[in-house]
Amino acid sequence: MSNPVDLAALAAWMDSQGLGSGPIENDVRLAGGTQNILLKFTRAGGAYVLRRPPPVLRANSNETMRREARMLAALKDTNVPHPALIAACPDETVLGAAFYLMEPIDGYNPTTCLPEPFASSPELRHQMGLSLVDGIAALGAQDYIALGLEGLGKVDNYLERQVGRWKAQLESYAEFPEWDGLKDLPDIDGVGRWLEENRPRTFQPGILHGDYHLANVMYRFDAPRLAAIVDWELTTIGDPLLDLGWLLATWPEGSTGTVSVTPWEGFPSADELVAHYAKQTTRDLSQIHWYGVLACYKLGIILEGTYARACAGKAPKATGDQLHASTIGLLQRANRWIS
């Protein structure tokens, strides 16, 4: 496969930014994320990772890339584990899309391979689970206004907008006449009604990652702690408790869950995750299951979009079928929580 990044153009831009000199070497595509391009390379002895949108841009691809870079820049001097931003290019003409450069992360993702000593230690895996909560607790504790992130998201009526926003997204899949998934989704309208009727009256605004689960973090090799939270494309300002709800929605529960690690023995229970978060926040967690139900609803609708495109031949059928099953599982979990 040809390289989707024009290395000569990238080198010229790096020259203009004073980022090394000479040729770009050892360039290799990294796995991570289903859409965006990650390219690791070296130049003049320095190591870089470039992140840019896919070759076929979506309507919001460039704006998403600029938002990610803005967030990483704002987090620079905080205790939130994140990839260190080196430089960002909002100009779409350099590489055909906005992009940014970050430092490589010395870590691993546990959903792809769990190295030793963690693979043999339930105790270390327990600490890994608690560290996952530490990441969003630190993120949600940040003063987003002091970090210059005001305006990154719409705080007014944030919770009131959620159900309508995602219900409209689900209804939009009707543009694919081949999509037949709605008949399989367990009482999705009832879940939406419950969310509207039980919505928290107030919330404390803060930073959300927006897609927080085990597949979107890197762990350190030398300790059961996070090296970095990655894939910031859904980051916004809203109610940070939705990140905790997202963790609960995706967390393995019995034989179900959208993201897992092998072996799983030793990881904390969902209740332990909530208790650990409670120790580190001033936020009211008395309605945390509402956020879990919202996360099931929102994530399920997002995943169903790929199934709708697969029904129309615009995405791989096997992927669509798998994600459709995940949506059904998420809605079943939501219905158990509200019953």
Q: What would the pLDDT profile of 130-141 be if each residue is shown by its tens digit?
A: 999 999 999 999
| CA quadruple 296, 302, 307, 308: dihedral, nearest 10 | 120
What pLDDT, on a 0 to 100 scale, did the predictor assign at position 57?
A: 84
Select, from the ranges 124-133, 302-311, 317-326, the one with the highest average predicted confidence (pLDDT). 124-133
* CA–CA separation, 257 and 250 (whole Å): 5
**Local structure of residue 267 (DSSP, 8 states):** P
Q: For 186-200, 207-221, 306-320, which range has the lowest pLDDT when averaged over its residues?
A: 306-320
Give me the percent of the chain exceeding a pLDDT of 70: 97
Mean of the per-residue pLDDT values of the chain: 94
CATH code linked to domain 7-102 = 3.30.200.20
* DSSP per-residue string spanning 36-102: SEEEEEEETTEEEEEEE--SS--TTHHHHHHHHHHHHHHTTTSSS--PPEEEEE--TTTTSS-EEEE
pLDDT digit string, tens, across residues 66-118: 999 999 999 999 999 999 999 999 999 999 999 999 999 999 999 999 999 99
| The pLDDT of residue 11 is above 90 | yes
Segment 158-178, tens digit of pLDDT:
999 999 999 999 999 999 999
pLDDT of residue 123: 98
User: Residue 56's pLDDT is what?
Assistant: 81
DSSP secondary structure of 84-101: PEEEEE--TTTTSS-EEE
- pLDDT for residue 1 is more than 50: no
Region of poorest pLDDT, from 30-44, 185-199, 229-243: 30-44
How many CB atoms are located within 10 Å of the residue 211 CB? 19
Q: What are the backbone angles phi and psi of residue 218, rounded to the nearest 5°?
A: -120, 140
Task: Give the predicted TM-score (pTM) of the model.
Answer: 0.94
Residue spans of the domains in the chain: they are: 7-102, 118-338
Contact (CB, 8 A) for 246 and 212: yes
90-95: long-range pairs with CB below 8 Å, 24+: 90/62, 90/66, 92/62, 94/9, 94/10, 94/13, 95/5, 95/6, 95/9, 95/10, 95/13, 95/52
Q: Tell how many helices (H) and how many strands (E) occur in the chain.
A: 9, 9
CATH architecture of the domain covering 118-338: Alpha-Beta Complex (3.90)
* Averaged pLDDT, 40-46: 95
Our CA angle for 260, 199, 301, nearest 5°, is: 45
Whether the predicted pLDDT of 55 surpasses 70: yes
Work out the average pLDDT over 288-306. 96
Whether the predicted pLDDT of 196 surpasses 60 = yes
User: What's the average model confidence in pLDDT over 211-226?
Assistant: 97
Is residue 35 very low, low, confident or very high in pLDDT (cuts 50, 70, 90)? Answer: confident
The per-residue pLDDT for 207 is: 98
